[in-house]
Amino acid sequence: MLKCLVLVSVFAVPAAPAFAGDASLAVRYFYDNLGAESGLENRDRFAGPALEFLNAADAAWNRDETLCLDFGFPVDAQDFDDAEIARTLKLDETVDGDTARVVARFNNFGEPSEVEWTLEQNTAGWQVSDVASTANDWRLSTLSCE
């Protein structure tokens, strides 16, 4: 009887969105699902400048197939070894109130890479507001897409 009660109580707990936990979990989603950053079904994982850029990139593509970003920003590359990235991924999270910085460090084809994610917490949980690479000198919030 106790086993049934425990099982029922597990199903009675409302499921929280996958991105409502720690900021690093919100970032890890994109490394567990490489390529998901461009999916419309994941747009609610973004806010602020990152969301504005992705929406502008979609609009440019729909208008005349202008490609505003020719690489995967989670891996800071056009090509990637997903197994190597998964094996070497380390996330370093710093939270200051409702903002967080998560630095993703990993190897891609034997080369060390680092991508910095800025997130904001709101009623939807942790949402990505910016992504940057110091090695390749880009930041989503400063990219233009017309």
Q: How is 75-94 classified by DSSP, letter by letter?
A: TTBSS--HHHHHHH-EEEEE
DSSP 8-state secondary structure symbol assigned to residue 66: -
> Domain residue spans in the chain?
46-146
Distance (Å, whole) CA 48 – CA 129: 5
Distance (Å, whole) CA 23 – CA 27: 7
- Entry pTM: 0.83
More confident of the two residues 142 and 8: 142
pLDDT over 70 percentage in the chain? 86
In this structure, which CATH number among 3.40.47.10, 3.10.450.50, 2.20.25.90, 3.30.70.380 belongs to the domain 46-146? 3.10.450.50
- Strand-pairing partners, residue 135, are none
The answer to whether 119 touches 23, Cβ cutoff 8 Å, is yes
Q: How far is CA 23 from CA 33, 47, 63, 100, 103, in A?
A: 16, 14, 34, 7, 11
The answer to whether 47 touches 127, Cβ cutoff 8 Å, is yes
19-54 confidence digits (pLDDT tens): 445 999 999 999 999 999 989 999 999 999 999 999
Of 5-14, 30-39, 83-92, 113-122, give the lowest mean pLDDT range: 5-14
- b/e code 116-135 from CB counts within 10 Å (16+ = b): bbbbbbeeebbbbbbbbbee
